[in-house]
Structure 1
Amino acid sequence: MSAFSQAITPLLDRLISWRERHISERYFLLILSLLIGVTMALVAAFLKFIIHVVESFILQNIEDHHYLYLLFPALGILLSLLFVRYIVRDDISHGVTKVLSSISQRKSRIKPHNTWTSIIASALTISFGGSVGAESPIVMTGAAVGSNFGRLFRLEQRNLMLLIGCGVAGALGGVFKAPITGLVFVIEVLLLDLTMASVLPLLVSSVSAAAVAYVLSGKEILFQFIQTDPYHIERIPLMILLGVVCGLMSLYFSKTMFRFESELKRIKDFRLRYLISAAILSLLIFLFPPLYGEGYDSVNILLDGQYTQLLDGSIFEAFSNSYWVVFAFFLLTVLFKVFASVATNSGGGCGGLFAPTLFMGGLTGFIFSYLVNYFSSLNVFISPKNYILL
């Protein structure tokens, strides 16, 4: 036991003893859920700030030197790989699967380093261009924060499980400023056996995280959108058809992801696997710049109607006036997104697949409207931004 542990343990014992005498378990869980929610809002804000600052700096330098698209994404996953392999020296696998595994197999105990390692690794990966999202690392971090808050105060396993849920709810509430989203995610995905008494801490955590996120960054939301084009009831068949297309695209994404991931995992030498993954990722981003990073900026550009801007810096830029070149560019971007995302994580990067699926959905909606409008007369024109959101 370290000198710090020897000094802090008696103080912690007295604090726990005082809490047991003066604060009931029910109210103490509410206090912890509030602390977890505030903590996760700060963590989410920190991660988004780091990603934004580094990414903006890199993209400004890439603007006139497009060949750097071949360098920075590979550098990002290399830094993440070295950080995990030689500094952390442990598995920091992230996402819902890891959380569910901790609940079912590890008695809701998550290692303390998971409270910060996923944040650093994902920041290195995404800010340098890794084609993944920050949501899964945030979820893993939230679960770890909740678990370790509970372990610090020596709570029972059932309460550790609830605090893991509070961490996840707070993480999503802080990222998306959507408290109900965090609550529903925990209930639907983590499948916790909840009672009315346990729903309240989840609400406190997600609402407090969303509130702090609003204080830190104002009313800014993920997709800035003002509806100017109405949804017409006679377009419902097209909306249903878009749903079918998105379902097929989702099937393509999941099947391709598992197959490609398993092929890369067969490469046992991590150095060779990194080189192959980095080459795939960098080449795809060089050819299709919208694959750089999470992809939310690309979706917002489409919502603004500036779709040709996404061709800037690509080999397709000179042909941006051609309908079929633009169509081919966006279709290939959607189809190759899964390869870029899997290559990012398999090569040593750290990130989730929630952002890539939103990116694919937005681009699929755009491609659908782009194609329908090309083959339609002017009186059946459909709004691209409405279908991007759909």
Structure 2
Amino acid sequence: MKFWNQHKFIIRSIHQRLSRNQFLILSGVLVGLSAGTAAILLKSMVHYIHVLVNSQLEVFNYPYLNLFLPLTGILITAWVVQKFLKGKDGRGVANILLDIAQRSGVIPKFKMYSQVITSAITVGFGGSSGLEGPIAVTGAAIGSNYARTYRLTYRERILLLACGASAGIAAVFNAPITGLMFAVEVILVGVVFSDFIPLIISAVSGALISKIILNDDILFEFRSLKEFDHSNVPYYILLGVFSGLVAVYYSRVSRKIDYIFHHQLKWSPYNKAILGGLTIALLCFIFPPLFGEGYGAVKFLASNNPEGLLNGTFFNIPTENSWMIILFTGLIFLTKVLATSFTLASGGSGGNFAPSLFTGAFMGFFFASLFNKMGFHTLPVNNFTLVGMCGVLSGVMYAPLTGIFLIAEITGGYELMIPLMLVATSAYVIAKVFEPHSMDVKDLIEDKKIFTENYDENILSLIKIHEILETEYDEISTDSKLIDLLAVFKNSDHQLIICKDKHQKFAGFIWFDKVKKVLLDTDLQNKLTVEELVSKTSVKLNIEDNISKMVDYFDQTDMFYLPVFDKEVFIGVISKTKLLAAYRNKLRLTLS
């Protein structure tokens, strides 16, 4: 604790002596190194869990015992989430976007470590998911809490949140450009910012510390890559279209399985974990390459050794039978989404980066090998395997630039930049045709809970109804006389009065401007009742409704005030004046 306080004192002292831009650059370095260290810790934990598990398997030497390791990992993960995280694992990039839109970029502190622990257990025991999503959440939480510690502004907090996510991705893949693209395309959607330098510095810092400590080389070294041949352009475009369709299939299957586990199965978390673990055991028994992240299986394709995929399978497939190998790889890329979805939906932790890369590699190999076998055209299989990874990732994540630079950096395939761009763009366009939003954020965008490219809507989403709710108002009963209403207006500072019926339920408004002529007519004061002057409305805005619904009500009714309810109980009103003032304040906040 003493060390931490000294650390804060030093940083705050430096903060006072540096300009804003200088301090942001320093902060980018510190956040990048911290997120990179978290990535190193995560990868090391997964490695040592693998080593420990494999050593135990060698001791017991039971056949197929490893099939039940994912079940063990998911059960342990579910126990950790329920016991220590109170059922809130906070996984997924969508949660970062939700924190940006709904909590002004304030991410709970427990996310700085929770995803490292849970994903290490899940993936370390062979769960079919990736580490990239968890490290993005971890890095974002580090950046957000750094900004909170040193009392930085909203805009600076969002920037450092993105710096952390960028550095995490850069470190886990040893790919700084990819980290930068990920932050711009995924994290900062709909956010106005101009401070690119801290973002670049943090990505470089994360990748650099990972490179120094882990000394990782290129993740996939593809052999026999051929130079780009313009005559293959139609086939690359066709591969991009196929990648987009596979990405749509991936997204829809994943969402369907997630819906079943979270909305239809009314089971305990542990029963769900058992179902998911047993399903993965069955899938891995049939298709062993589905075990774990799957990078080892992709390396068989990269090294021109697809026959190695048959190791451990109960299928008695002759290695010289190329048709069976093609069929086997085709079935693998179709079932990978099942293994990943059951892993995550049943309680495991992880992300979709690695699974989508795996799916894309096997899809690209299947595509090129099938064309070659059927004699349509001779395609470079390794080239198509590589760009297939880019295609599916771009279609699943809706981040084509991230896909392009990720594949270029982790494979050293910069000479295939044109086919990468063709496939990524084609896949992205096709996926957008069938699904306007990516699978992680679709529900949140439809509920208008996260930012989109519409900047005005993003500003409005920062406003909460309770922030502009007016709870102090004057009221009168509908059976009162006009003389009573006149007395209320005389003693009121408001231009409208709330009318309630004899059951104390909201009945409507009375506007002073609309009734002042009647009120001043002495002949009518004792003849008319308040009820005859009430302006009634069928609009009922609930305190839990989003701000867009309120704006729609204002547009549709041309009203200046809207009544707000909490479970049918009237609690106050909202005026256009307050809404516009809140909009100006939020706009100023995002630009300051």
Does TM, normalized by the shorter one, top 0.5?
Answer: yes
2:64 aligns to what SS in structure 1?
Answer: helix
1:18-60 deviation per Cα after TM superposition (whole angstroms, max 9, x unaligned): 3453233332222111011111222212212222333255457
How far off its partner does 1:113 sit? Answer: 1.2
Show structure 1 runs of 5+ residues with no match: none
- For the Cα contact (< 8 Å) 1:80–1:124, is it kept in 2? yes
Equivalent position of 2:70 in the other structure: 73
- For the Cα contact (< 8 Å) 2:77–2:348, is it kept in 1? yes
CA distance in 2, matches of 1:8, 1:61: 39
CA distance in 2, matches of 1:192, 1:42: 29
Question: How many residues are paired up?
Answer: 382
CA distance in 2, matches of 1:36, 1:53: 26
Equivalent position of 1:55 in the other structure: 50
Rate the CA distance shift 1:241–1:189 in 2: closer, same or farther, 3 A.
same
Rate the CA distance shift 1:306–1:56 in 2: closer, same or farther, 3 A.
farther
How far off its partner does 1:241 sit? Answer: 1.6
1:195-214 deviation per Cα after TM superposition (whole angstroms, max 9, x unaligned): 44x11110110111122222
1:169-214 deviation per Cα after TM superposition (whole angstroms, max 9, x unaligned): 1111112222222222211212263444x11110110111122222
Alignment match of 1:259 (pick from 256, 260, 263)? 256
Rate the CA distance shift 1:381–1:59 in 2: closer, same or farther, 3 A.
farther
- For the Cα contact (< 8 Å) 2:28–2:201, is it kept in 1? yes
Q: TM-score normalised to the size of structure 1? A: 0.91
How far off its partner does 1:150 sit? Answer: 1.1
Amino acid at match of 2:238: L
CA distance in 2, matches of 1:272, 1:142: 32
Rate the CA distance shift 1:168–1:74 in 2: closer, same or farther, 3 A.
same
Rate the CA distance shift 1:17–1:55 in 2: closer, same or farther, 3 A.
closer
CA distance in 1, matches of 2:145, 2:179: 20
Equivalent position of 1:25 in the other structure: 20
Equivalent position of 1:134 in the other structure: 131
- For the Cα contact (< 8 Å) 2:28–2:202, is it kept in 1? yes
- For the Cα contact (< 8 Å) 1:115–1:145, is it kept in 2? yes
CA distance in 1, matches of 2:379, 2:54: 33
Equivalent position of 1:355 in the other structure: 354
Rate the CA distance shift 1:278–1:195 in 2: closer, same or farther, 3 A.
closer
- For the Cα contact (< 8 Å) 1:118–1:140, is it kept in 2? yes
Q: Does residue 167 in structure 1 map to residue 161 in structure 2?
A: no
Cα-Cα RMSD: 2.3
2:350 aligns to what SS in structure 1?
Answer: coil
How far off its partner does 1:142 sit? Answer: 0.3
CA distance in 2, matches of 1:65, 1:13: 53
Q: Does residue 40 in structure 1 map to residue 38 in structure 2?
A: no
CA distance in 2, matches of 1:302, 1:92: 34
Equivalent position of 2:226 in the other structure: 229
Spell out structure 1 runs of 4+ moving beyond 6 A.
Answer: 7-13
- For the Cα contact (< 8 Å) 2:29–2:201, is it kept in 1? yes
Equivalent position of 1:366 in the other structure: 365
Which structure has the larger Rg over C-alpha atoms? 2
1:53-91 deviation per Cα after TM superposition (whole angstroms, max 9, x unaligned): 332554576687541233111001111111111122241
Within 5 Å, which residues of 2 pair with 1:1-390?
18-19=13-14, 21-56=16-51, 58=53, 65-190=62-187, 191=189, 193-196=191-194, 198-218=195-215, 220-265=217-262, 266-269=264-267, 270-376=269-375, 380-390=377-387
CA distance in 2, matches of 1:367, 1:8: 55
How far off its partner does 1:134 sit? Answer: 0.3
1:339-389 deviation per Cα after TM superposition (whole angstroms, max 9, x unaligned): 111111122110001111111000001111221121118xx4322211100
Show structure 2 runs of 5+ residues with no match: 388-592
- For the Cα contact (< 8 Å) 1:131–1:356, is it kept in 2? yes
Q: Which has the higher contact order (CA 8 A, sep 6+)?
A: 1
CA distance in 1, matches of 2:8, 2:52: 47
CA distance in 1, matches of 2:24, 2:40: 24
Rate the CA distance shift 1:330–1:225 in 2: closer, same or farther, 3 A.
closer
1:71 aligns to what SS in structure 2?
Answer: helix
Q: TM-score normalised to the size of structure 2? A: 0.61
Rate the CA distance shift 1:328–1:99 in 2: closer, same or farther, 3 A.
same
CA distance in 1, matches of 2:4, 2:31: 22
